[in-house]
Amino acid sequence: MEIIGIVKKLFDIQKFDSGFKKREMVLTTEEPYPQNILIEFIQDKVDLLGSIRQEDKIKVFINIRGREWTNPEGIIKYFNSIQGWKIEEIQHSIENKTSISPSLSSSSEDFDDLPF
C-alpha cells in the first residue's frame, strides 16, 4: 500500500535499551477530507527519514500491522500501526516549493519524438 501527502511533523528518533529504535512522522493526505496519518519507521528504516523535511510532498509505501493485547483485567484489546518501508520524494519544499523530482517531471522535449 502507499500514501501520498505532505509531511506535517517529524518526531525525534526513539532508542530503547533493547536496541530497538523507531521514528514517527505525520503525513497529511491531499483529498477532500485530509487525514493526518501517523507512520512509524523502525530499525534500519529510520534512516529513510534522514533527508525528509517538514512540508515535503512524498509517497510512503506502508504495511499495516495489528496486534492483540490482554490488559491486567483480562480484557483483550486490539491495536493497529502503520509502518513505512520505502519513501519516494515527489516535491521538495525547503528551498524551492515548485521543484519536482526528476523522475516525475516532464518537459516539452519529452514530446518532440512523437510520430505524428
Q: Using pLDDT thresholds of 50, 70 and 90, give the confidence band for residue 111.
A: very low
SS3 112: coil
In a domain, 114, yes or no: no
pLDDT score of 112 more than 80: no
pLDDT score of 26 more than 60: yes
What b/e sequence results for 63-75 when a residue is b if at least 16 CB atoms lie within 10 Å of its CB, and e otherwise?
Answer: eeeeeeeeeeeee
In a domain, 110, yes or no: no
Torsion of CA 69, 78, 82, 19, to 10 degrees: -10
Mean pLDDT of 64-93: 94
pLDDT score of 102 more than 50: no
CA dihedral over 7, 8, 14, 20, signed as positive or negative: negative
In a domain, 102, yes or no: no
pTM attached to this predicted model: 0.74
Share of residues in the chain with pLDDT > 70 (%): 79
pLDDT tens, residue by residue, 39-50: 999 999 999 999
Provide the domain limits for residue 17: 2-94
Cell representation of residue 104 = 516525475
pLDDT score of 23 more than 50: yes
Residue that wins the pLDDT comparison between 34 and 116: 34
Q: How many domains does the chain have?
A: 1
HSE of 56 in the Cβ direction (CA atoms, 13 Å)?
20
In a domain, 105, yes or no: no
HSE of 63 in the Cβ direction (CA atoms, 13 Å)?
8
In a domain, 111, yes or no: no
Per-residue model confidence (pLDDT) at position 105:
40
What CATH number is given to the structural domain containing 53? 2.40.50.140
